[in-house]
Chain A
Amino acid sequence: MTTLWPHLPDTVATEIYDHVAGRTAAQLDHVWKHRHPAQIYTATGGTRADGRRVRELRDVIVSTARQHGFPNGGTKIAFDRELAPKLLAEMDLALAEASDRRLWNFLTLVVAPDVTAWRWAGSSNRERWICRDPTRHMFSRLWWHAYLFTDPSTGRIEGEVLDRLTEADLNQLFERRRIAGNRRVLRSLARAVLDVSDASRRPLIRDAAKRVLRRMAVIDFHALTDGEVEHEVARLVDEASRAVAAESP
C-alpha cells in the first residue's frame, strides 16, 4: 500500500510563493505547517499521510538540513545527496503520484519553506519552489535522483555514483528523459562517464547521450542482459570520448 501525500493546487501554490519568495530561512522559521486548508489528496490508491506523517517527514528534512548547516550557510550538495534516499524511503510513493507536481508544491510551500529558502538562498528560480519540471524542483529532483539510481533487482541506491556526479551532470542526464527513464541505461551511462572523466564532463555527457539515444531507437535495451547493457553503453561513451577529444583544440 503506497502513501498518498497532500497536494497543493496550482492557484494556491502561486499565491503562497508570492509571499515566501525572496525571504530568508530565518524569516520563514515559523511559517511551516503540517497541513493547508486547500490541500487535496489523490482519491484512491493508498493510505493518506496524516498530520503526524507530515510532521515526521518534516523532521527528517530539517534534521538532515541541520547536519549540513541549516539555517545558516553549510554544505548544500551534501545535504541533497543525503536527503535523496531518505525522501525515497520515507515517502513510499507510487510513480504516478511522484509525477504529480502538486505534491511537491505542498512540500516546498507548506511543509518546508524555511529549508527550501536555505537550500536555494540567493536563487530567484521559481521552479525550485513551484514544480514545473520535476528535475528542477527542490524535493522532486532529489526523490527522482534516488529512485532512478536504485537498482530494482537489489533495491540498493548507487550512492557512490550519485555522490560523484555534479549537479550539472545530473541535470544533463535527467534532461534526456528517455535515458533517465531506463534505470539500467542511466546507471550504466553515469558509471561509464565517471570512468572516463573526472574533469569537466559536460561535452562528454552531451555527446554520449546523443549516441545512446540514437541506439535506443534501434536497440531494445530491455531485452539485453545487465552485462550487455553495460558493455554497449561503455562502448558508446568510449566513442563519445574520442570524438570530444578530437574536437578539442
Chain B
Amino acid sequence: MNLKSLPGGVLAWLRRTRCKWLLVMLLLGLVLRENYPFSHFPMFSSFSRKTYFIHLADAHGTALKTRQFGLSNSTLKKIFDRARRKELRRFADAGEKRVPLAEAAAAQSLLRYLDGLTNARPAAKKLLPGLEVEHVRVRQKNDAILLEKKILAKHQ
C-alpha cells in the first residue's frame, strides 16, 4: 500500500461520499462537546466501582420527590456536581478535608439555587425550611452493591 497516496485517497473519498453531513455532525460533536444542541454524548461513557447520587428530604428526614421542585433528580445531581467541581478547586489546599468541605459548600449552593427556583412555586417553597441535601455513596464490593448515606446540608 502506498502511504503517500493516502491523503489524496481520503480527500477523493470525502468528495465522493454521500454521507458528508454525517461527518460534519461527528466533527461538530467531537469539537464542540457539550454545547447545546451539540454534544459528544458522554452518558455512561465510563463506569467505575463507585458513584453517588443525592436526594432531598424534609426537616424530619423523610425523602421528598425531587419533581416537587420542578426538576428531575438527575438534574439536581448535575447541578450539585457542577458546584462540587467548582468548590473542589476552591478548597484545593484543604488536604484531607477538601472533599467534605467542597461537598458541604456545593450542597449549600444547591439549596440557594432551590431558593430561587421555588420563588414561583409556593407549594415547593413551603418545603424549604429544614430541607436536607442527602448524599448516598454507591459502591461495588466483590459481587455486592453497598450504599452509604450522609447529610451534606440543611436549609436554615
A and B associate? no
Please give the residue numbers on chain A whose beta carbons come within 8 Å of chain B beta carbons, in ascending order.
Answer: none
